[in-house]
Amino acid sequence: MNASFIGRCARRLAVAMVVKALFGMMPSACAEEPAQQVAAVATPTITIDNFAFSQPTLTVPAGTKVTWTNRDDMLHTVVDEAKSFKSDPLDSGDSFSHVFDQPGTYKYFCSLHPHMTGIIVVR
């Protein structure tokens, strides 16, 4: 046997082993469960503009984070009547967020302009 014949046999054997190894891994890879995709949940945003909350009533599932963004030229706040949440004064462009974990009805207002009111219904 010459050296080139032995070299070709060794290469063929190496290729065969790699192919066998790759195909040997395929059944286990195919048997794995596909990764579950997590659906992105949009954060509801209530805009404060012209001395009003953009959505007088908003209904959300429990666990939802709601964000208020002040688009007005005046300072505003977001205060729950039951005092479970309260923002600092929001300047134009500022935002405040609160996560609603418990079902219920949450009435809120602007403490600087009490005629500004809204309701979050959590289911």
Q: What is the overall mean pLDDT for the chain?
A: 83
pLDDT of res. 29: 47
**Cβ atoms within 10 Å of 98's Cβ, excluding its own:** 19
What is the Cα–Cα distance from 110 to 118, expressed in whole angstroms? 9
Residue 83 pLDDT > 80, yes or no? Answer: yes
Distance CA 113, CA 37 (A): 44
DSSP state of 81: T
- The full set of domains in the chain, from first to last, is 45-122 (2.60.40.420)
Does the model's pTM come out above 0.85?
no
Q: How far apart are CA 77 and CA 99, in angstroms?
A: 17
Nearest Cα to 106, choosing from 89, 121, 88?
A: 121
The per-residue pLDDT for range 13-72, each reduced to its tens digit, is 555 554 455 455 544 444 455 555 444 457 899 999 999 999 999 999 999 999 999 999
Mean pLDDT of 71-93: 98
